Amino acid sequence: DTGVSQDPRHKITKRGQNVTFRCDPISEHNRLYWYRQTLGQGPEFLTYFQNEAQLEKSRLLSDRFSAERPKGSFSTLEIQRTEQGDSAMYLCASTIADIHYRPDEQFFGPGTRLTVL
């Protein structure tokens, strides 16, 4: 399977704990995005990487959230001191920015569903 993968698919944690999610984009994709989605809502943009550089971060994103993409391939999203309001589906998407491709279509992973008790 050469699509976007995310791990774990489900995570249940207690309030106050730290959690880390991983995303493996499509191998040749240089752009990677993280989103959060709650039931009945569209995805909410969290942050974006081009290669290893984090170029944009939502103004609404708490400083408890941090993301890395150390080698320009996989990425991790960490949430510190989780709160019940963090319960959501966390989606990763990737795309390729290249003059020979339309830099438009994002390929989404299956998501990590976080439940904070």
Partner 1 sequence: GQNIDQPTEMTATEGAIVQINCTYQTSGFNGLFWYQQHAGEAPTFLSYNVLDGLEEKGRFSSFLSRSKGYSYLLLKELQMKDSASYLCAVRDLWNNYGQNFVFGPGTRLSVLP
Of the candidate spans 16-24, 36-44, 63-71, 72-80, the one that interacts with partner 1 by CB under 8 A turns out to be: 36-44
Nearest distance in Å: CB 16, partner 1: 28
Q: Does 1 interact with partner 1 (rule: CB under 8 A)? A: no
Residue closer to partner 1 by CB (options 14, 53) is 53
Nearest distance in Å: CB 111, partner 1: 6
Task: Choose, by CB under 8 A, the member of 7, 20, 30, 45 that binds partner 1.
Answer: 45
Task: Choose, by CB under 8 A, the member of 14, 40, 63, 71 that binds partner 1.
Answer: 40
Look up residue 70 and give its amino acid: P
- 42: Cβ–Cβ under 8 A, 6 or more apart, which residues? none
Confirm if 67 and 46 have CB atoms less than 8 A apart: yes
Task: Choose, by CB under 8 A, the member of 28, 56, 78, 98 that binds partner 1.
Answer: 56
| Angle at 11 (CA atoms; ends 47, 111), nearest 5 degrees | 45
- 35: Cβ–Cβ under 8 A, 6 or more apart, which residues? 43, 44, 45, 46, 90, 91, 92, 93
Task: Choose, by CB under 8 A, the member of 58, 76, 80, 87 that binds partner 1.
Answer: 58
Confirm if 33 and 45 have CB atoms less than 8 A apart: yes
Nearest distance in Å: CB 15, partner 1: 25
